């Protein structure tokens, strides 16, 4: 069967296409309005920001044929923004109307919650549907959004999900189905839902069970530091406090092939995979074909979220042409990334904001968030401890520490660094996180130079301080050496995810064993 995908040019559509192809179907892209009308099955994977999406649909004359297709009750699957577009308006883009096929609006989650809602959560079916065939009912699916739909007609609600409030996570009216979650990023359960939808001949059914309340899982994130080794081959490596060369041989540590390792972690149950491009050619990201190829190949067989970091900034090529950070990010999104991680450039943006009292509205953080949504922008912070005898000794955000300094200092602040931790800057991690949130970032990847490669556990004091300072999700990174360290960070802080690299690469901790351990200790985790 040929499936038509409405790709309006934003976000990672490659994963949707790969998931459909993996199920044995041919994919055709909408090139003009007639392609919508002539579709057998139409899939609309909306990714990004509501206003940008609707403006693009109107510019390309897709609105009228879309509404006509929907009115004929023909097979339609909307994903994420593809659900939100069906309604009249969104608080994300006041004054820009949606398709208005359903009465109702799109509203933001309460400010009391960490937003975006990112991660694996359950669904509560309200009635039967063909997409539920073969589901147990306790599966978790991947969400990443700041807004949710509020239909006037409650009869179209197919499932709800709990996140501070109970919100509508999918709708169905006849052959029209739309989900807030991403089936293409939800592992085997998501592929089952896609398979059911595309089969068309399956009788509606209900899962065998339904949770009374759904719970957001704590995420386990596998990180792959990728760089070229001494022969020029791209490998996964791991630093010891950011030094990736073996202390004896002086060679770059080679822990495996990036695509193969990513597939292994997907099979083992990693909730997300992060690629950090730490090699020299990140200075020319649009010519960085090896990293783009890694993303493309990985997304063919890995159906969980992929993040890419390293080189997400503006640059000028050897011919003098200027490329914006938005153009660089777009290339990675089109190659299979769901999120981009901004590191050193975020520090420079915040420094400018502090010194001038304002910042260029087209800075990398704001520009990417404006087009692709805040959930697509991750800020990677690389701080190190700086001890102080008293809070008055520095203007930076200071915490009282239980780990005194070399001279018995009882206070410290966390200095942000750039250039892979080699250069300290005059801005602290708490300030950086707060300003980046204001500029549009949707998530913090919080590293710690002092803990990197030590296996001593996460820096709980740092993580707690940053979690308390922002209202966006935080991923803990650096220092994990055993399962107890994950338990500690999940029970002692509000962090939503924990990342590790070396202990996974060396099989010192296996992801299935880690999740079983956390589950026994009462931590909500995801199985897919």
Determine, yes or no, domain membership for 263.
Answer: yes
Least confident of 45-59, 218-232, 325-339, 465-479: 218-232
Q: Would you say residue 506 lies in a domain?
A: yes
Q: What is the CATH number of the domain that holds 481?
A: 3.20.20.70
The pLDDT confidence band at residue 254, using thresholds 50, 70 and 90, is: confident
Question: Sign of the C-alpha dihedral, residues 425, 426, 432, 435?
Answer: negative
Q: Are residues 187 and 289 in the same domain?
A: no
Asked whether the beta carbons of 147 and 106 are under 8 A apart, the reply is yes
Same domain, yes or no: 357 and 407 = yes
Domain end residue (candidates: 135, 166, 199): 199
Residue 224 and residue 85 share a domain: no
| Mean pLDDT on 371-393 | 96
Compute the average pLDDT of residues 241-254.
64
Over the stretch 494-509, which tens digit does the pLDDT of each residue have? Answer: 999 999 999 999 999 9
**Same domain membership, residue 143 and residue 172:** yes
Within the chain, how many helices (H) and strands (E) appear? 16, 28
The answer to whether residue 213 is domain-embedded is no
Contact yes or no for 63/31 (Cβ under 8 A): no
User: Above 70 in pLDDT, residue 391?
Assistant: yes
Q: What percent of the chain has pLDDT over 70?
A: 94
Residue 209 in domain: no
Nearest to 42, CA basis, from 248, 198, 251: 198
d(C-alpha 316, C-alpha 306), whole Å: 27
Are residue 459 and residue 513 in the same domain, yes or no?
yes
Whether residues 229 and 277 fall in one domain: yes
pLDDT of residue 244: 64
Answer whether residue 284 shows pLDDT above 70. no
Catalytic residue among 52, 89, 139, 184: 184
Would you state the pLDDT for residue 248? 66
Contact 169, 242 (CB under 8 A): no
349 domain-assigned: yes
> CA–CA distance from 329 to each of 125, 333, 439 (Å)?
36, 6, 17
Look at residue 335 and tell me if it is in a domain: yes
- Residue 209 has a CB neighbour count (10 Å cut-off) of 10
Pair 179, 305 in one domain: no
**What are the φ/ψ torsions at residue 368 (nearest 5 degrees)?**
-70, -40
For residues 483 and 503, give the distance between their C-alpha atoms in angstroms, rounded to a whole number: 10
Ramachandran assignment for 450, one of left (phi > 0), alpha (psi -120 to 50 degrees), beta (any other): alpha
- 65 & 146 share domain: yes
- Domain membership flag for residue 276: yes
Task: Report the CATH number that the domain containing residue 68 is assigned in CATH.
Answer: 3.40.50.880
Asked if residues 238 and 453 have their Cβ atoms less than 8 Å apart, the reply is yes
Of 199, 233, 267, the residue at which a domain comes to its end is: 199
Catalytic-residue membership of 80: yes
Cα separation, 89 vs 424, whole angstroms: 45
> Quick check: is 207 in a domain?
no
Helices (H), 60-138: 63-71, 81-84
- Look at 282 and 265; give whichever has higher pLDDT: 265
For residues 177 and 282, which has the higher predicted lDDT (pLDDT)? 177
Q: Which of 80, 223, 436, 448 is catalytic?
A: 80
Enclosing domain of residue 6: 2-199
Answer yes or no: do 507 and 402 share one domain.
yes
**Same-domain status, 299 and 364:** yes
Q: 416 an active-site residue?
A: no
- Distances in Å between the Cα of 313 and the Cα atoms of 310, 335, 349, 365 are 9, 17, 11, 9
> Are both 105 and 252 inside the same structural domain?
no
Number of domains in the chain: 2
The 3-class secondary structure across 262-295, one letter per residue, is HHHHHHHCCCEEEEEECCHHHHCHHHCHHHHHHH
Going along 197-271, which residue ranges are E strands? 219-228, 234-237
Clarify whether residues 88 and 230 are in a common domain: no
pLDDT score, position 38 = 96
Q: Which of 133, 145, 148, 182 is catalytic?
A: 182
Structural domain ending residue among the three candidates 169, 199, 229: 199
Show the CA angle centred on residue 371, arms to residues 172 and 51, nearest 5°: 55
**Cα-based angle 76, 77, 82 (whole degrees, multiple of 5):** 110
Please indicate whether residue 505 is annotated as part of the active site. Answer: no
* pLDDT (mean) for 101-113: 96
Residue 9 has pLDDT above 90, yes or no: no
């Amino acid at each position: 069967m040929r499936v038509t995908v409405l790709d309006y040019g934003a976000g990672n559509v490659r994963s949707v296409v790969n998931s459909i192809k993996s199920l044995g179907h041919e994919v055709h892209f909408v090139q003009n309005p007639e392609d919508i009308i002539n579709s057998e099955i139409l899939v609309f994977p909306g990714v990004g920001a509501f206003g940008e999406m609707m403006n693009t649909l109107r510019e390309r004359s897709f609105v009228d044929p879309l509404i006509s297709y929907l009115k004929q009750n023909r097979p339609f699957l909307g994903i994420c923004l593809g659900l939100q577009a069906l309604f009249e308006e969104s608080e994300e883009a006041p004054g820009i109307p949606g398709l208005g096929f359903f009465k109702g609006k799109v509203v933001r989650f309460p400010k009391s919650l960490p937003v975006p809602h990112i991660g694996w959560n359950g669904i509560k079916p309200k009635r039967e549907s063909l997409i539920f065939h073969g589901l147990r009912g306790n599966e978790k699916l991947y969400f990443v959004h700041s807004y949710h739909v509020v239909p006037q007609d409650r009869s179209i609600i197919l499932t709800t999900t709990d996140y501070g409030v109970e919100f509508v996570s999918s709708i169905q009216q006849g052959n029209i189905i739309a989900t807030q979650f991403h089936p293409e990023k939800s592992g085997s359960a998501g592929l089952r839902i896609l398979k059911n939808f595309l089969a068309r001949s399956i009788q509606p059914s209900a899962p065998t069970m339904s949770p009374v309340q759904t719970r957001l899982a704590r995420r386990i994130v596998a990180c792959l530091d990728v760089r070229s080794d001494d022969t020029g081959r791209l490998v996964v490596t791991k630093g010891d406090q950011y030094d990736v060369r073996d202390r004896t041989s002086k060679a770059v540590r080679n822990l495996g092939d990036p695509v193969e390792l990513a597939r292994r972690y997907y099979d083992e149950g990693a909730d997300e995979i992060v690629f950090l491009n730490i090699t020299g050619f990140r200075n020319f990201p649009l010519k960085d074909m090896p990293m783009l190829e890694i993303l493309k190949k990985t997304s063919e067989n890995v159906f969980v979220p992929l993040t890419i970091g390293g080189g997400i900034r503006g640059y000028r090529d050897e011919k003098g042409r200027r490329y914006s950070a938005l153009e660089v990010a777009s290339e990675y999104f089109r190659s299979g990334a769901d999120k981009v991680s901004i590191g050193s450039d975020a520090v420079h943006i915040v420094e400018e904001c502090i010194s001038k009292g304002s910042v260029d509205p087209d800075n990398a953080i704001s520009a990417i968030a404006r087009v692709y949504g805040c959930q697509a922008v991750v800020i990677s912070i690389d701080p190190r401890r700086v001890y102080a005898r008293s809070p008055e000794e520095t203007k930076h955000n200071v915490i009282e520490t239980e780990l005194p300094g070399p001279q018995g200092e009882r206070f410290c602040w966390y200095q942000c660094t750039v250039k892979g931790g080699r250069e300290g800057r005059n801005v602290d991690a708490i300030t950086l996180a707060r300003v980046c949130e204001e500029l549009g970032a949707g998530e913090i990847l919080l590293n710690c130079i002092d803990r990197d490669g030590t296996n001593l556990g996460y820096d709980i004091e740092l993580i707690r301080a940053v979690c308390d300072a922002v209202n966006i999700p935080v991923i803990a990174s650096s220092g994990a050496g055993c399962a107890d360290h994950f338990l500690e960070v999940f029970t002692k802080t509000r962090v939503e995810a924990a990342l590790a690299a070396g202990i996974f690469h060396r099989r010192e901790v296996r992801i299935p064993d880690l999740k079983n351990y956390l589950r026994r200790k009462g931590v909500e985790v995801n199985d897919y």
